Amino acid sequence: MIKENIEKVEKVIDQVCEEIGRKRSEVTLIAVSKTKPAEMLQEAYDTGCRDFGENKVQELVDKYEVLPKDIRWHMIGHLQRNKVKYIVDKVYLIHSVDSLRLAEEISKEAVKKNVSVNILIEVNAAGEETKFGTTLEDAKQLVREAAKLPNVHIKGLMTIAPMVEKAEENRVFFQQLKKLSVDIAAENIDNVSMEVLSMGMTGDYSVAVSEGATLVRVGTGIFGERNYSVSI
């Protein structure tokens, strides 16, 4: 089932890339495996998947310990500063940096452990009250400030679009994020590249790919519905 689901999602990405003339190699599928047991991740791994997304520090660390070491772990959930120390040397990319204080903490722990950490700035493009992330307006200033921190590299932007009936409704937010990333790239800030755009989930990843996503985060579409009432 997982294998078929991954193939289906990959095929949709192939098709969108072909339609709009994008290189397929520009887009990477992240399997969002939160709440799912390690065996299911192993199954996805065995079909070739190497990028996994988790939103809880403890869960990411537990899975990191038991799964193959060539997995690229993506921290996609809200990150508390006191937990940064557990993951800085384990994650490939932190998608959810939305304050200078958090970026400073990541930098501090990265220096301590002598690693460098790749981060994205999370933008709340739709301005939803229930979501984390900077506003579109504040994102630039945060990038400029965080760019000065040692052992942290800003690779791009991330957004979580609203839950909508039709994926098309989110196109405008993906366009806004893309435009912001082009604007920031034009500033040529030291230590900042805008090569990554993390946007699109099960409901809207095809629209996100058509608007320039380089990372799509798909959970339900690969692993099925999540059940939060059972602990892993």
Ligand X SMILES: *Cc1c(COP(=O)(O)O)cnc(C)c1O
Question: By the 8 A CB rule, do 57 and 94 touch?
Answer: no
Minimum distance from CB of 76 to ligand X (Å)? 4
Minimum distance from CB of 77 to ligand X (Å)? 6
* Residue 202 lies near ligand X (rule: CB under 6 A): yes
Which CB atom, from 44 or from 149, has the smaller least distance to ligand X?
A: 44
Stretch that binds ligand X, among 61-69, 86-94, 128-136, 198-206 (CB under 6 A): 198-206
* Residue 36 lies near ligand X (rule: CB under 6 A): no
Closest CB to ligand X: residue number: 219
Nearest alpha-carbon partner for 77 in 40, 100, 101, 52: 52
DSSP annotation of 54: E
Per the DSSP assignment, residues forming a β-bridge with 198 are 158, 215
* Residue 28 lies near ligand X (rule: CB under 6 A): no
Q: CA-CA-CA-CA torsion for 121, 185, 31, 127, nearest 10 degrees?
A: 50
Is the sign of the CA dihedral 55, 217, 155, 145 positive or negative?
negative
Stretch that binds ligand X, among 10-18, 108-116, 149-157, 217-225 (CB under 6 A): 217-225
Minimum distance from CB of 187 to ligand X (Å)? 26
Q: How far apart are the first and last CA of the chain?
A: 20
Rounded to an integer, what is the distance from CA 198 to the centroid of its chain?
A: 5
Footprint of ligand X on residues 153-192 (CB under 6 A)? 160
**Neighbour count for residue 59 (Cβ, 10 Å):** 16
**Gyration radius (Cα) of the chain, Å:** 17
Question: By the 8 A CB rule, do 32 and 56 touch?
Answer: no
Is the sign of the CA dihedral 212, 224, 70, 159 positive or negative?
positive
Number of residues that bind ligand X (CB under 6 A): 14
Which CB atom, from 194 or from 208, has the smaller least distance to ligand X?
A: 208
Minimum distance from CB of 26 to ligand X (Å)? 19
* Residue 201 lies near ligand X (rule: CB under 6 A): yes
Among 32, 126, 154, 208, indicate the residue that binds ligand X (CB under 6 A).
32
Among 55, 134, 181, 214, indicate the residue that binds ligand X (CB under 6 A).
55
* Residue 5 lies near ligand X (rule: CB under 6 A): no
> For binding to ligand X (CB under 6 A), which residues are involved?
32, 34, 55, 76-77, 160, 201-203, 217-221
